[in-house]
Structure 1
């Protein structure tokens, strides 16, 4: 089983009511946690012990969340104070249909299970139909309301042994090589760099004008663009893996990517801000939905040794040439070695 989050847009007729309930939810969690901290233990309680306007089903969830926050106090030594309004509903108290989601709210002092109009993609509908729904979170972001639903989706693994190795980078965002000899490049490093530099230039200009709000909006826009790029690249990679009958995808460990990745000084900022981890996570969950395993390998020196004779060479710009006559794109050499590498921990086949 794999746990995913389905995010759907909701359109409340009375957004102020949801905002008020979200603030009340956080207030109750903070209050219960503070009381437990003063007592030194979380007391046994029911919804009758909590003074709140929240529906009893939602109030039950505040007690669970407060217990979870209280456990963190013992680990961190400091009580975290929640601030952002949010509204959690467990899977027994909400229903999702084709074009709506219904959950209990309080209007004029009365609890009522209210249906809200939603928009969702075909992928969202498919996941909700074949998976097991869990906790739902209602939140507002930049004036828009969303329902985030946790979904457990069953996965399986095929017995085919065709393997794909993927090398990540800046000039070529992703290069994939399969054990059957298929090679494919994904994404455009030049286009990515152009967009990032354009945003950086705009950010510097706004900084001189001290337009902090505009800088935040630009940052959010850039993050959304990066996320969209990673979604597209990961989808193309998994689709290629399906077409080639791949059963295992090998990715490089990212812990030391900023030390081992090949980059020039002018690309250093892009290297430290590109979301390699996010791209890997997207590949991981999309591959698992397609019954393809994902494993991690050590990427050290994968672009230096010749995959034919094993001689160590240094690539010049994007070309890799060996005295044995082998020559190709340097990132393809990295993908070949990643495909051949054993898993990182020697045991696990799970990324």
Structure 2
């Protein structure tokens, strides 16, 4: 049995001025098609694709110049949004009619063609099919023989650039599982600490330098915001992108090193991040740091890099892992002396606090396996060089 890997390549379109206006008009009409379909579906309380097609297709074709494939695409995207919104409303949760001011156009194999080797794409627009030049980084050329599937066209209003996110896939032979487990603890002083239950691996990713750089960015941003001049605002815009690239690059580097520690077929155990900012009690000095660093992005990078190597990624509840002794299992808030030191009140076992937490994470997973509570699972497919299809720095490692 083969496993299917997917990657999303973020390419920058290079349209002429005339082509730029065509793309903007296409996005504007696609926005109308999406919002109109959502409005009709919300009023009719339905997300059934066939019903919405009958209710909206001919009206959208009459009021726009969109080709039929893009009208259908807008309806499919609207159907997905309506399904989520209406289900939330039926459950009594807060929900409203979906609406977008700058939607991404979803293309399929019938509405676009890509030639990565010659850095060119053909897209359906309001003025028919048009060819556009794209910038293909050398790193992405390893995917030339992968099968291209769907794509999303997104216009970044701030950067004034068009990004085409192309999804491609390829099948690889399954990797035989091996009895090798590592736990990863995410924290403040150390961005990540990796360990095995037997202590043969104890890897620290110190966040001191990273935090110092982030503090410099914060101080500079604060000074620029206080000035409020046009020049300062332009500088803030540049600074924002630079800081984003820095953070993404660091997460890529850490993820790559973590995955390199694990053999093919092994398991990386991560902590569930849901509610982590509410669970962790930090002082005012550390509050901005824990709310600013993108720990979810780091986990996503670990997942897709691990998947390419045949490594499984699983998640466990991380509650009490910082208070629990990894040797005897005694849980007490007083076990953790401070941010870095852990001393068990029951057996006097002492260890670095983050290292102790990482061992507890992997031991919690092994214990749940014995109880039959969880399966091993596998990593998920994620974009190359970024965390989300609509936003990335393009950095690769």
Coarse TM-score class (shorter-chain normalised):
0.7 to 0.9
Aligned to 2:150: 135
Aligned to 1:239: 260
Normalised by the length of structure 2, the TM-score is 0.74
Q: Which runs of 5+ in 2 are unaligned?
A: 47-51, 90-94, 380-397
In structure 1, distance between residues paired with 2:302 and 2:152: 25
Aligned to 1:112: 129
Residue 147 of structure 1 and its aligned partner are, at CA, apart by 0.7
Aligned to 2:290: 271
Q: Is the 8 A contact 1:168 1:175 kept in 2?
A: yes
| Deviation readout 1:106-159 (Å, 9 max, x if unpaired) | 47x4x234242332343x3445634x5432111222122211123455574532
In structure 2, distance between residues paired with 1:152 and 1:261: 39
| Deviation readout 1:190-233 (Å, 9 max, x if unpaired) | 12221222222223223322358454554444333222221221
Q: Is the 8 A contact 2:327 2:349 kept in 1?
A: yes
Residue 30 of structure 1 and its aligned partner are, at CA, apart by 2.0
Residue 308 of structure 1 and its aligned partner are, at CA, apart by 3.6
Q: Does 1:207 align with 2:225?
A: yes
Q: Does 1:318 align with 2:354?
A: no
Q: Is the 8 A contact 1:6 1:148 kept in 2?
A: yes
In 2 relative to 1, CA 167–34 (structure 1 residues): closer, same or farther, beyond 3 Å? closer
Aligned to 1:150: 167
Aligned to 1:249: 268
In structure 1, distance between residues paired with 2:225 and 2:239: 12
Instruction: Kindly report which structure 2 residues correspond to 1:1-351, keeping only aligned pairs within 5 A, or say none.
Output: 1=4, 4-13=7-16, 14-37=19-42, 42-44=52-54, 50-51=61-62, 52-72=64-84, 74-75=86-87, 76=89, 78-84=96-102, 86-97=104-115, 98-106=117-125, 109=127, 111-122=128-139, 124-127=140-143, 129-130=145-146, 132-141=147-156, 142-152=159-169, 154=171, 156-179=174-197, 181-186=200-205, 188-210=206-228, 213-214=233-234, 215=236, 217-242=238-263, 247-261=266-280, 263-310=282-329, 313-321=335-343, 327-342=350-365, 343=368, 346-350=373-377
RMSD: 3.2
Q: Give the paired residue count.
A: 344
Q: Is the 8 A contact 2:69 2:111 kept in 1?
A: yes
Secondary structure of 2:178's counterpart equals coil
Normalised by the length of structure 1, the TM-score is 0.83
Q: After the TM superposition, which of the residue ranges 96-105 and 303-312 deviates more from structure 2?
A: 303-312
Q: Is the 8 A contact 2:326 2:357 kept in 1?
A: no
Secondary structure of 2:121's counterpart equals strand
In structure 2, distance between residues paired with 1:36 and 1:304: 50
In 2 relative to 1, CA 306–207 (structure 1 residues): closer, same or farther, beyond 3 Å? same
